[in-house]
Structure 1
Amino acid sequence: MLWVLLLLVAWGAAAVSCVRLCLVSVRTGLLPDTPPDAVRTGADGHELTLYETAFLAGGPHRVVDLALVTMHLRRRLLLAHTGWATVVDPEGRDDMERMVIRAIGPLGQSRIPPVRTAAAAADTVRALADRLVAAGLAVPGGVGTDVAAAVRAVRGAALLVVATGAAALLMPGQEARPDGPVVSMLVWFGLPLALTVGCLAIARMEVHPYSSWASPAGRRLLAANETSVSDADHDVLAAMAVRGVRAVHDPALRAALGVRRPPSS
Protein backbone atom coordinates (compact mmCIF):
# COMPACT_ATOMS: atom_id res chain seq x y z
CA MET A 1 0.00 0.00 0.00
CA LEU A 2 1.32 3.36 -1.04
CA TRP A 3 0.17 5.09 2.15
CA VAL A 4 2.57 2.90 4.13
CA LEU A 5 5.48 4.33 2.13
CA LEU A 6 4.24 7.84 2.89
CA LEU A 7 4.01 6.88 6.55
CA LEU A 8 7.61 5.68 6.53
CA VAL A 9 8.71 8.99 5.02
CA ALA A 10 6.79 10.89 7.70
CA TRP A 11 8.23 8.78 10.52
CA GLY A 12 11.75 9.03 9.12
CA ALA A 13 11.62 12.83 8.86
CA ALA A 14 10.12 13.17 12.34
CA ALA A 15 12.60 10.80 13.97
CA VAL A 16 15.72 12.25 12.33
CA SER A 17 14.77 15.87 13.04
CA CYS A 18 13.76 15.21 16.64
CA VAL A 19 16.93 13.24 17.38
CA ARG A 20 18.98 16.06 15.88
CA LEU A 21 17.20 18.62 18.05
CA CYS A 22 17.73 16.49 21.16
CA LEU A 23 21.45 16.10 20.45
CA VAL A 24 21.94 19.83 19.88
CA SER A 25 19.91 20.66 22.98
CA VAL A 26 22.02 18.27 25.07
CA ARG A 27 25.16 19.89 23.69
CA THR A 28 23.84 23.27 24.77
CA GLY A 29 22.69 21.99 28.15
CA LEU A 30 26.09 20.47 28.92
CA LEU A 31 27.83 23.83 28.71
CA PRO A 32 29.34 24.88 32.04
CA ASP A 33 26.94 27.06 33.98
CA THR A 34 27.97 29.96 36.19
CA PRO A 35 26.95 30.55 39.82
CA PRO A 36 24.38 33.36 40.28
CA ASP A 37 26.91 35.64 41.97
CA ALA A 38 29.38 35.23 39.13
CA VAL A 39 26.73 35.91 36.49
CA ARG A 40 26.81 39.60 37.34
CA THR A 41 30.40 39.97 36.14
CA GLY A 42 32.10 39.66 32.81
CA ALA A 43 34.88 37.43 31.60
CA ASP A 44 37.64 39.29 33.40
CA GLY A 45 35.87 40.01 36.71
CA HIS A 46 34.28 43.40 35.97
CA GLU A 47 30.74 44.39 35.05
CA LEU A 48 29.79 43.47 31.50
CA THR A 49 30.76 46.06 28.90
CA LEU A 50 28.35 47.09 26.18
CA TYR A 51 30.31 45.05 23.66
CA GLU A 52 30.05 41.96 25.86
CA THR A 53 26.33 42.56 26.28
CA ALA A 54 25.94 43.01 22.53
CA PHE A 55 27.69 39.72 21.83
CA LEU A 56 25.55 37.79 24.29
CA ALA A 57 22.38 39.33 22.87
CA GLY A 58 23.13 39.18 19.17
CA GLY A 59 26.52 37.71 18.37
CA PRO A 60 29.44 39.15 16.36
CA HIS A 61 27.33 41.26 14.00
CA ARG A 62 25.60 42.97 16.94
CA VAL A 63 29.06 43.88 18.31
CA VAL A 64 30.07 45.40 14.97
CA ASP A 65 26.81 47.35 14.67
CA LEU A 66 27.35 48.72 18.17
CA ALA A 67 30.90 49.79 17.28
CA LEU A 68 29.67 51.50 14.09
CA VAL A 69 26.91 53.40 15.88
CA THR A 70 29.22 54.34 18.75
CA MET A 71 31.76 55.84 16.34
CA HIS A 72 29.00 57.58 14.40
CA LEU A 73 27.48 59.19 17.48
CA ARG A 74 30.92 60.35 18.63
CA ARG A 75 31.69 61.90 15.22
CA ARG A 76 34.53 59.53 14.45
CA LEU A 77 32.68 57.80 11.64
CA LEU A 78 29.96 58.91 9.25
CA LEU A 79 27.23 56.41 8.44
CA ALA A 80 25.24 57.66 5.45
CA HIS A 81 21.66 56.60 4.85
CA THR A 82 22.83 55.32 1.45
CA GLY A 83 24.73 52.53 3.20
CA TRP A 84 28.27 53.92 3.12
CA ALA A 85 30.70 54.31 6.03
CA THR A 86 33.30 57.09 5.94
CA VAL A 87 36.14 57.43 8.43
CA VAL A 88 36.31 60.88 10.04
CA ASP A 89 38.91 60.18 12.72
CA PRO A 90 41.42 57.49 11.62
CA GLU A 91 42.74 57.05 15.17
CA GLY A 92 40.59 54.44 16.87
CA ARG A 93 40.05 54.86 20.61
CA ASP A 94 40.00 51.12 21.37
CA ASP A 95 40.48 47.74 19.72
CA MET A 96 36.92 47.63 18.41
CA GLU A 97 37.19 51.03 16.71
CA ARG A 98 40.56 50.15 15.20
CA MET A 99 39.05 46.90 13.94
CA VAL A 100 36.25 48.81 12.20
CA ILE A 101 38.72 51.26 10.63
CA ARG A 102 40.82 48.36 9.29
CA ALA A 103 37.67 46.72 7.89
CA ILE A 104 36.75 49.92 6.06
CA GLY A 105 40.14 49.89 4.37
CA PRO A 106 42.86 52.36 3.43
CA LEU A 107 40.57 54.52 1.30
CA GLY A 108 38.60 55.47 4.42
CA GLN A 109 35.26 54.70 2.81
CA SER A 110 33.33 51.51 2.12
CA ARG A 111 29.89 50.01 1.84
CA ILE A 112 28.62 48.98 5.29
CA PRO A 113 27.68 45.30 4.59
CA PRO A 114 31.24 44.19 3.70
CA VAL A 115 32.57 46.17 6.67
CA ARG A 116 30.15 44.35 8.96
CA THR A 117 31.11 40.96 7.53
CA ALA A 118 34.86 41.55 7.74
CA ALA A 119 34.77 43.05 11.23
CA ALA A 120 32.53 40.28 12.60
CA ALA A 121 35.17 37.72 11.62
CA ALA A 122 38.10 39.74 13.00
CA ASP A 123 40.40 38.55 15.79
CA THR A 124 39.11 41.27 18.14
CA VAL A 125 35.57 39.87 18.07
CA ARG A 126 36.81 36.29 18.32
CA ALA A 127 38.85 37.22 21.40
CA LEU A 128 35.75 38.77 22.97
CA ALA A 129 33.79 35.60 22.23
CA ASP A 130 36.51 33.40 23.71
CA ARG A 131 36.53 35.40 26.95
CA LEU A 132 32.77 35.07 27.33
CA VAL A 133 32.83 31.34 26.53
CA ALA A 134 35.60 30.83 29.09
CA ALA A 135 33.49 32.67 31.67
CA GLY A 136 30.52 30.39 30.98
CA LEU A 137 28.38 33.27 29.70
CA ALA A 138 28.44 32.42 25.97
CA VAL A 139 28.14 29.22 23.98
CA PRO A 140 30.86 28.10 21.56
CA GLY A 141 30.42 29.44 18.06
CA GLY A 142 27.67 27.75 16.09
CA VAL A 143 25.72 26.18 18.96
CA GLY A 144 22.99 28.80 18.97
CA THR A 145 22.58 28.67 15.20
CA ASP A 146 22.63 24.85 15.34
CA VAL A 147 19.68 24.91 17.74
CA ALA A 148 17.78 27.29 15.46
CA ALA A 149 18.47 25.07 12.44
CA ALA A 150 17.38 21.96 14.36
CA VAL A 151 14.14 23.65 15.40
CA ARG A 152 13.47 24.64 11.79
CA ALA A 153 14.08 21.02 10.74
CA VAL A 154 11.51 19.77 13.27
CA ARG A 155 9.00 22.35 12.04
CA GLY A 156 9.62 21.19 8.48
CA ALA A 157 9.15 17.57 9.54
CA ALA A 158 5.84 18.45 11.20
CA LEU A 159 4.64 20.07 7.97
CA LEU A 160 5.85 17.05 6.00
CA VAL A 161 3.87 14.72 8.29
CA VAL A 162 0.74 16.77 7.68
CA ALA A 163 1.36 16.82 3.92
CA THR A 164 2.02 13.09 3.64
CA GLY A 165 -0.96 12.32 5.86
CA ALA A 166 -3.22 14.47 3.71
CA ALA A 167 -1.86 12.83 0.55
CA ALA A 168 -2.52 9.38 2.00
CA LEU A 169 -6.08 10.30 2.95
CA LEU A 170 -6.79 11.75 -0.50
CA MET A 171 -5.46 8.75 -2.40
CA PRO A 172 -8.15 7.10 -4.52
CA GLY A 173 -9.66 3.90 -3.22
CA GLN A 174 -9.53 4.76 0.48
CA GLU A 175 -12.58 3.57 2.40
CA ALA A 176 -14.36 5.98 4.71
CA ARG A 177 -15.77 3.33 7.04
CA PRO A 178 -15.11 3.98 10.74
CA ASP A 179 -13.24 0.67 10.94
CA GLY A 180 -11.47 1.19 7.61
CA PRO A 181 -7.91 2.30 6.76
CA VAL A 182 -8.76 5.98 7.23
CA VAL A 183 -8.87 5.60 11.00
CA SER A 184 -5.61 3.64 10.95
CA MET A 185 -3.92 6.31 8.87
CA LEU A 186 -5.10 9.06 11.19
CA VAL A 187 -3.61 7.21 14.14
CA TRP A 188 -0.32 6.31 12.48
CA PHE A 189 0.27 9.78 11.03
CA GLY A 190 -0.88 11.37 14.27
CA LEU A 191 1.96 9.73 16.20
CA PRO A 192 4.88 11.40 14.32
CA LEU A 193 2.94 14.66 14.33
CA ALA A 194 2.58 14.44 18.10
CA LEU A 195 6.31 13.66 18.37
CA THR A 196 7.36 16.73 16.39
CA VAL A 197 4.90 19.08 18.09
CA GLY A 198 5.97 17.78 21.50
CA CYS A 199 9.65 18.33 20.68
CA LEU A 200 8.91 21.88 19.56
CA ALA A 201 7.00 22.59 22.79
CA ILE A 202 9.83 21.24 24.94
CA ALA A 203 12.45 23.15 22.93
CA ARG A 204 10.56 26.39 23.38
CA MET A 205 10.52 25.93 27.15
CA GLU A 206 14.07 24.63 27.56
CA VAL A 207 16.29 26.28 24.92
CA HIS A 208 14.34 29.34 23.74
CA PRO A 209 15.49 31.82 22.40
CA TYR A 210 16.89 29.40 19.84
CA SER A 211 19.36 31.78 18.18
CA SER A 212 20.88 33.05 21.42
CA TRP A 213 24.65 33.30 21.67
CA ALA A 214 24.37 33.31 25.45
CA SER A 215 24.59 30.29 27.73
CA PRO A 216 21.86 29.78 30.36
CA ALA A 217 23.90 31.95 32.73
CA GLY A 218 24.35 34.58 30.05
CA ARG A 219 20.63 34.58 29.28
CA ARG A 220 19.83 35.26 32.93
CA LEU A 221 22.21 38.21 32.84
CA LEU A 222 20.66 39.51 29.64
CA ALA A 223 17.19 39.28 31.17
CA ALA A 224 18.38 41.57 33.97
CA ASN A 225 19.91 43.96 31.43
CA GLU A 226 16.68 44.10 29.43
CA THR A 227 14.82 45.17 32.57
CA SER A 228 17.30 47.95 33.26
CA VAL A 229 17.25 49.16 29.64
CA SER A 230 13.46 49.33 29.64
CA ASP A 231 13.75 51.79 32.50
CA ALA A 232 16.35 53.92 30.67
CA ASP A 233 15.53 53.93 26.97
CA HIS A 234 17.36 57.25 26.57
CA ASP A 235 20.63 55.34 26.59
CA VAL A 236 20.78 54.52 22.88
CA LEU A 237 23.91 52.42 23.01
CA ALA A 238 22.72 50.33 25.97
CA ALA A 239 19.36 49.74 24.30
CA MET A 240 21.07 48.82 21.05
CA ALA A 241 23.41 46.37 22.75
CA VAL A 242 20.42 44.47 24.14
CA ARG A 243 17.84 44.92 21.38
CA GLY A 244 19.85 45.56 18.23
CA VAL A 245 19.65 48.22 15.54
CA ARG A 246 15.86 48.40 15.81
CA ALA A 247 16.31 50.15 19.15
CA VAL A 248 17.80 53.15 17.31
CA HIS A 249 15.22 55.89 16.70
CA ASP A 250 17.14 57.86 14.05
CA PRO A 251 15.61 56.76 10.70
CA ALA A 252 18.72 57.77 8.73
CA LEU A 253 20.93 55.68 10.99
CA ARG A 254 18.57 52.71 10.77
CA ALA A 255 18.57 53.04 6.98
CA ALA A 256 22.38 53.12 6.94
CA LEU A 257 22.44 49.80 8.77
CA GLY A 258 19.74 48.26 6.60
CA VAL A 259 16.75 48.50 8.93
CA ARG A 260 13.71 50.22 7.45
CA ARG A 261 10.97 49.53 9.98
CA PRO A 262 10.76 52.00 12.88
CA PRO A 263 11.35 50.60 16.38
CA SER A 264 8.27 49.45 18.25
CA SER A 265 7.18 51.59 21.17
Structure 2
Amino acid sequence: MLRILLLALAWAAAGAACVRLCRAAVAAAPHQARRSTRPRDRELTLLEAAFLAGGPGRVMDVTLVTMHRRRALLLAHTGWATVVDADTDHVLERSVIRAIGPAGHQARTDAVRRAAGTADAVRAIAASLEEAGLAVPDTSRARSAAAVRQVRAAAFAVPVLTVAALALPGGGVPGSALLPWFALPLLLTLTALLIGRAEIRPYLGWASPEGRRLLAGLITTADGTERGRLTAIAVAGPDAIEDPLLRRALSSGRRERAATRAAHRGH
Protein backbone atom coordinates (compact mmCIF):
# COMPACT_ATOMS: atom_id res chain seq x y z
CA MET A 1 0.00 0.00 0.00
CA LEU A 2 2.84 2.37 0.84
CA ARG A 3 4.43 1.62 -2.52
CA ILE A 4 1.24 2.64 -4.29
CA LEU A 5 1.14 5.84 -2.27
CA LEU A 6 4.72 6.70 -3.26
CA LEU A 7 3.93 5.94 -6.87
CA ALA A 8 0.92 8.25 -6.70
CA LEU A 9 3.09 10.98 -5.22
CA ALA A 10 5.61 10.57 -8.05
CA TRP A 11 2.89 10.89 -10.67
CA ALA A 12 1.32 13.85 -8.89
CA ALA A 13 4.65 15.70 -8.66
CA ALA A 14 5.48 15.07 -12.30
CA GLY A 15 2.00 15.92 -13.54
CA ALA A 16 1.65 19.14 -11.56
CA ALA A 17 5.11 20.33 -12.62
CA CYS A 18 4.52 19.62 -16.31
CA VAL A 19 1.11 21.29 -16.27
CA ARG A 20 2.64 24.37 -14.67
CA LEU A 21 5.42 24.43 -17.27
CA CYS A 22 2.91 24.19 -20.12
CA ARG A 23 0.80 26.97 -18.64
CA ALA A 24 3.88 29.19 -18.28
CA ALA A 25 4.84 28.55 -21.91
CA VAL A 26 1.33 29.37 -23.13
CA ALA A 27 1.21 32.55 -21.04
CA ALA A 28 4.64 33.70 -22.25
CA ALA A 29 4.09 33.02 -25.95
CA PRO A 30 2.01 36.14 -26.71
CA HIS A 31 4.86 38.39 -25.53
CA GLN A 32 7.09 37.06 -28.29
CA ALA A 33 4.63 38.21 -30.95
CA ARG A 34 3.89 41.52 -29.23
CA ARG A 35 6.15 44.12 -30.85
CA SER A 36 6.17 47.74 -31.84
CA THR A 37 4.98 48.77 -35.29
CA ARG A 38 8.53 48.79 -36.68
CA PRO A 39 10.75 46.88 -34.23
CA ARG A 40 13.48 46.21 -36.77
CA ASP A 41 13.92 49.94 -37.39
CA ARG A 42 14.34 50.73 -33.72
CA GLU A 43 17.75 51.69 -32.37
CA LEU A 44 18.42 50.85 -28.77
CA THR A 45 19.74 53.53 -26.49
CA LEU A 46 22.71 52.68 -24.30
CA LEU A 47 20.56 52.22 -21.19
CA GLU A 48 17.95 50.19 -23.07
CA ALA A 49 20.70 47.85 -24.25
CA ALA A 50 21.97 47.59 -20.68
CA PHE A 51 18.52 46.67 -19.40
CA LEU A 52 17.97 44.00 -22.04
CA ALA A 53 21.38 42.48 -21.32
CA GLY A 54 21.33 42.53 -17.54
CA GLY A 55 18.25 44.22 -16.13
CA PRO A 56 18.24 47.16 -13.67
CA GLY A 57 21.62 46.18 -12.24
CA ARG A 58 23.31 46.51 -15.63
CA VAL A 59 21.65 49.89 -16.17
CA MET A 60 23.22 51.06 -12.94
CA ASP A 61 26.61 49.62 -13.91
CA VAL A 62 26.63 51.81 -17.02
CA THR A 63 25.39 54.84 -15.06
CA LEU A 64 28.02 54.44 -12.35
CA VAL A 65 30.84 54.00 -14.87
CA THR A 66 29.66 57.06 -16.80
CA MET A 67 29.64 59.17 -13.65
CA HIS A 68 33.04 57.86 -12.59
CA ARG A 69 34.64 58.67 -15.92
CA ARG A 70 33.43 62.26 -15.92
CA ARG A 71 34.60 62.68 -12.30
CA ALA A 72 31.14 63.11 -10.82
CA LEU A 73 31.61 59.96 -8.76
CA LEU A 74 34.64 58.14 -7.41
CA LEU A 75 34.37 54.37 -7.43
CA ALA A 76 37.05 52.85 -5.23
CA HIS A 77 38.26 49.28 -5.69
CA THR A 78 37.38 48.71 -2.01
CA GLY A 79 33.69 48.85 -2.95
CA TRP A 80 32.85 52.40 -1.85
CA ALA A 81 31.33 55.17 -3.97
CA THR A 82 32.03 58.84 -3.17
CA VAL A 83 30.10 61.78 -4.59
CA VAL A 84 32.46 64.36 -6.13
CA ASP A 85 30.00 66.49 -8.09
CA ALA A 86 26.33 66.26 -7.19
CA ASP A 87 25.18 68.65 -9.94
CA THR A 88 23.50 66.64 -12.70
CA ASP A 89 20.37 66.82 -14.82
CA HIS A 90 20.29 63.12 -15.69
CA VAL A 91 17.41 61.40 -13.92
CA LEU A 92 19.31 58.18 -13.19
CA GLU A 93 22.36 60.06 -11.97
CA ARG A 94 20.11 61.99 -9.59
CA SER A 95 18.89 58.64 -8.26
CA VAL A 96 22.49 57.67 -7.58
CA ILE A 97 23.15 60.96 -5.79
CA ARG A 98 20.04 60.50 -3.65
CA ALA A 99 21.19 56.99 -2.72
CA ILE A 100 24.56 58.31 -1.52
CA GLY A 101 24.09 61.91 -0.45
CA PRO A 102 25.58 65.31 -1.35
CA ALA A 103 29.17 65.90 -2.42
CA GLY A 104 31.66 64.21 -0.11
CA HIS A 105 29.29 61.50 1.09
CA GLN A 106 30.08 57.80 0.66
CA ALA A 107 28.13 54.59 0.41
CA ARG A 108 28.77 50.99 -0.54
CA THR A 109 28.74 50.74 -4.32
CA ASP A 110 26.65 47.58 -4.34
CA ALA A 111 24.05 49.15 -2.05
CA VAL A 112 23.86 52.21 -4.30
CA ARG A 113 23.48 49.98 -7.32
CA ARG A 114 20.54 48.13 -5.75
CA ALA A 115 18.82 51.24 -4.37
CA ALA A 116 19.07 53.34 -7.53
CA GLY A 117 18.09 50.34 -9.65
CA THR A 118 14.52 50.61 -8.32
CA ALA A 119 14.12 54.22 -9.49
CA ASP A 120 11.13 55.28 -11.58
CA ALA A 121 13.45 55.98 -14.52
CA VAL A 122 14.56 52.34 -14.60
CA ARG A 123 10.96 51.17 -14.45
CA ALA A 124 10.14 53.53 -17.32
CA ILE A 125 12.87 51.92 -19.44
CA ALA A 126 11.47 48.49 -18.62
CA ALA A 127 7.90 49.53 -19.47
CA SER A 128 8.96 51.03 -22.79
CA LEU A 129 10.88 47.90 -23.80
CA GLU A 130 8.04 45.62 -22.74
CA GLU A 131 5.56 47.67 -24.75
CA ALA A 132 7.82 47.30 -27.79
CA GLY A 133 8.05 43.55 -27.28
CA LEU A 134 11.80 43.72 -26.65
CA ALA A 135 11.82 42.89 -22.92
CA VAL A 136 10.23 40.00 -21.04
CA PRO A 137 7.71 41.25 -18.44
CA ASP A 138 8.58 40.55 -14.80
CA THR A 139 5.49 38.40 -14.29
CA SER A 140 6.28 36.23 -17.30
CA ARG A 141 9.91 35.80 -16.30
CA ALA A 142 9.02 34.92 -12.70
CA ARG A 143 6.30 32.49 -13.80
CA SER A 144 8.63 30.75 -16.24
CA ALA A 145 11.48 30.47 -13.74
CA ALA A 146 9.16 29.05 -11.06
CA ALA A 147 7.79 26.47 -13.51
CA VAL A 148 11.28 25.32 -14.50
CA ARG A 149 12.29 25.03 -10.84
CA GLN A 150 9.23 22.90 -10.10
CA VAL A 151 9.96 20.52 -12.99
CA ARG A 152 13.57 20.17 -11.82
CA ALA A 153 12.36 19.44 -8.30
CA ALA A 154 9.98 16.80 -9.64
CA ALA A 155 12.76 15.24 -11.71
CA PHE A 156 14.76 14.91 -8.49
CA ALA A 157 11.84 13.74 -6.37
CA VAL A 158 10.75 10.89 -8.63
CA PRO A 159 14.02 8.90 -8.29
CA VAL A 160 13.98 9.51 -4.54
CA LEU A 161 10.44 8.17 -4.31
CA THR A 162 11.45 5.22 -6.49
CA VAL A 163 14.30 4.25 -4.20
CA ALA A 164 12.05 4.65 -1.16
CA ALA A 165 9.39 2.43 -2.73
CA LEU A 166 11.87 -0.29 -3.65
CA ALA A 167 13.25 -0.26 -0.11
CA LEU A 168 9.82 -1.07 1.34
CA PRO A 169 8.52 -4.62 1.76
CA GLY A 170 6.88 -5.64 -1.47
CA GLY A 171 4.21 -7.93 -0.18
CA GLY A 172 5.05 -10.42 -2.89
CA VAL A 173 5.32 -7.78 -5.65
CA PRO A 174 8.84 -7.68 -7.13
CA GLY A 175 10.51 -4.31 -7.46
CA SER A 176 11.10 -4.87 -11.18
CA ALA A 177 7.34 -4.75 -11.71
CA LEU A 178 7.19 -1.25 -10.20
CA LEU A 179 10.16 0.27 -12.02
CA PRO A 180 8.33 0.96 -15.31
CA TRP A 181 5.57 2.78 -13.44
CA PHE A 182 8.12 5.03 -11.74
CA ALA A 183 10.11 5.42 -14.94
CA LEU A 184 7.17 6.99 -16.76
CA PRO A 185 6.85 10.11 -14.53
CA LEU A 186 10.62 10.49 -14.60
CA LEU A 187 10.59 10.34 -18.39
CA LEU A 188 7.77 12.88 -18.37
CA THR A 189 9.70 15.39 -16.29
CA LEU A 190 12.92 14.97 -18.26
CA THR A 191 11.05 15.44 -21.52
CA ALA A 192 9.39 18.53 -20.10
CA LEU A 193 12.80 19.95 -19.22
CA LEU A 194 14.03 19.40 -22.78
CA ILE A 195 10.95 21.05 -24.21
CA GLY A 196 11.30 23.85 -21.69
CA ARG A 197 14.78 24.67 -23.00
CA ALA A 198 13.21 25.60 -26.32
CA GLU A 199 9.88 27.03 -25.19
CA ILE A 200 10.63 28.59 -21.80
CA ARG A 201 14.31 29.51 -21.85
CA PRO A 202 13.76 32.64 -24.02
CA TYR A 203 11.58 34.03 -21.22
CA LEU A 204 13.99 33.44 -18.34
CA GLY A 205 16.17 36.43 -19.22
CA TRP A 206 15.48 40.14 -19.59
CA ALA A 207 15.38 40.35 -23.38
CA SER A 208 12.79 38.77 -25.65
CA PRO A 209 14.01 36.98 -28.82
CA GLU A 210 13.64 40.24 -30.78
CA GLY A 211 15.48 42.12 -28.05
CA ARG A 212 18.35 39.63 -28.18
CA ARG A 213 18.55 40.13 -31.95
CA LEU A 214 19.03 43.86 -31.49
CA LEU A 215 21.62 43.23 -28.77
CA ALA A 216 23.57 40.97 -31.10
CA GLY A 217 23.74 43.82 -33.59
CA LEU A 218 25.17 46.11 -30.92
CA ILE A 219 27.95 43.65 -30.12
CA THR A 220 29.16 43.72 -33.70
CA THR A 221 29.20 47.54 -33.83
CA ALA A 222 31.08 48.14 -30.54
CA ASP A 223 34.44 49.86 -31.12
CA GLY A 224 37.25 51.49 -29.17
CA THR A 225 35.51 54.83 -28.69
CA GLU A 226 34.06 55.87 -25.34
CA ARG A 227 30.58 55.09 -26.64
CA GLY A 228 31.80 51.71 -27.87
CA ARG A 229 33.39 50.88 -24.51
CA LEU A 230 30.18 51.79 -22.68
CA THR A 231 28.22 49.67 -25.15
CA ALA A 232 30.50 46.72 -24.38
CA ILE A 233 29.84 47.22 -20.65
CA ALA A 234 26.10 47.46 -21.29
CA VAL A 235 26.08 44.19 -23.20
CA ALA A 236 28.74 42.17 -21.35
CA GLY A 237 28.73 43.75 -17.89
CA PRO A 238 31.66 44.75 -15.66
CA ASP A 239 33.84 42.04 -17.20
CA ALA A 240 34.16 44.29 -20.26
CA ILE A 241 35.79 47.09 -18.22
CA GLU A 242 39.46 47.42 -19.10
CA ASP A 243 40.54 49.09 -15.85
CA PRO A 244 40.98 46.27 -13.28
CA LEU A 245 40.43 48.58 -10.31
CA LEU A 246 37.17 49.92 -11.73
CA ARG A 247 36.10 46.40 -12.60
CA ARG A 248 36.78 45.36 -9.02
CA ALA A 249 34.86 48.38 -7.70
CA LEU A 250 31.70 47.22 -9.43
CA SER A 251 32.04 43.53 -8.64
CA SER A 252 33.34 43.59 -5.06
CA GLY A 253 29.93 43.70 -3.42
CA ARG A 254 28.59 40.87 -5.57
CA ARG A 255 31.59 38.71 -4.74
CA GLU A 256 31.05 39.34 -1.03
CA ARG A 257 27.38 38.37 -1.24
CA ALA A 258 28.27 35.22 -3.16
CA ALA A 259 30.86 34.29 -0.52
CA THR A 260 28.33 34.93 2.26
CA ARG A 261 25.72 32.71 0.58
CA ALA A 262 28.33 29.98 0.12
CA ALA A 263 29.30 30.22 3.80
CA HIS A 264 25.66 29.96 4.88
CA ARG A 265 25.16 26.92 2.70
CA GLY A 266 28.27 25.38 4.25
CA HIS A 267 26.74 25.74 7.71
Task: Please give the range of the TM-score, normalised by the shorter of the 2 chains.
Answer: 0.7 to 0.9
For each residue in 1:12-68, what CA deviation from the matched residue of structure 2 results, as whole angstroms up to 9, or x when unmatched?
222222222222222211114337952341xxxxx2111001111111111111111
The AA in structure 2 aligned to 1:51 is: L
Find the residue that maps to 1:30 and give its secondary structure. helix
The equivalent residue for 1:120 is: 117
RMSD: 2.5
Q: Per the alignment, do residues 210 and 34 of structure 1 end up closer, same or farther by CA in structure 2, a change over 3 Å counting?
A: closer
The equivalent residue for 1:44 is: none
Find the residue that maps to 2:19 and give its secondary structure. helix
The equivalent residue for 2:189 is: 196
The equivalent residue for 1:10 is: 10
CA distance in 2, matches of 1:167, 1:226: 51
The AA in structure 2 aligned to 1:252 is: L
Where do 1:224-243 residues align within 5 Å? 224-229=217-222, 232=223, 235-243=228-236
Structure 1 residue 87: Cα displacement: 1.2
Paired residues of 1:60 and 1:125 also in contact (CA < 8 A): yes
The reply on whether 1:98 has 2:99 as its aligned counterpart is: no
CA distance in 2, matches of 1:133, 1:203: 22
CA distance in 1, matches of 2:130, 2:203: 17
For each residue in 1:94-120, what CA deviation from the matched residue of structure 2 results, as whole angstroms up to 9, or x when unmatched?
222222112223463211222122111
Find the residue that maps to 1:59 and give its secondary structure. helix
Where do 1:180-219 residues align within 5 Å? 181-219=174-212
Paired residues of 1:136 and 1:217 also in contact (CA < 8 A): yes
The reply on whether 1:160 has 2:157 as its aligned counterpart is: yes
The reply on whether 1:135 has 2:132 as its aligned counterpart is: yes
Moved more, 243-252 or 125-134: 243-252
Q: Per the alignment, do residues 145 and 247 of structure 1 end up closer, same or farther by CA in structure 2, a change over 3 Å counting?
A: farther
The AA in structure 2 aligned to 1:34 is: R
With structure 2 as the length reference, what TM-score do the two structures score?
A: 0.83
CA distance in 2, matches of 1:246, 1:15: 41
For each residue in 1:176-217, what CA deviation from the matched residue of structure 2 results, as whole angstroms up to 9, or x when unmatched?
xxxx54233221111111111111111111232453112232
With structure 1 as the length reference, what TM-score do the two structures score?
A: 0.84
CA distance in 2, matches of 1:3, 1:105: 63
Find the residue that maps to 2:112 and give its secondary structure. helix
The equivalent residue for 2:75 is: 79
Structure 1 residue 85: Cα displacement: 0.8
State the percentage of identical aligned residues: 53
The equivalent residue for 2:263 is: none
Unaligned runs of 5+ in 2: 256-267
CA distance in 1, matches of 2:161, 2:84: 59
Moved more, 15-24 or 166-175: 166-175
CA distance in 1, matches of 2:159, 2:218: 41
Residues paired across the two proteins, number: 250
The match for 1:246 among 239, 245, 263 is 239
CA distance in 2, matches of 1:154, 1:111: 38
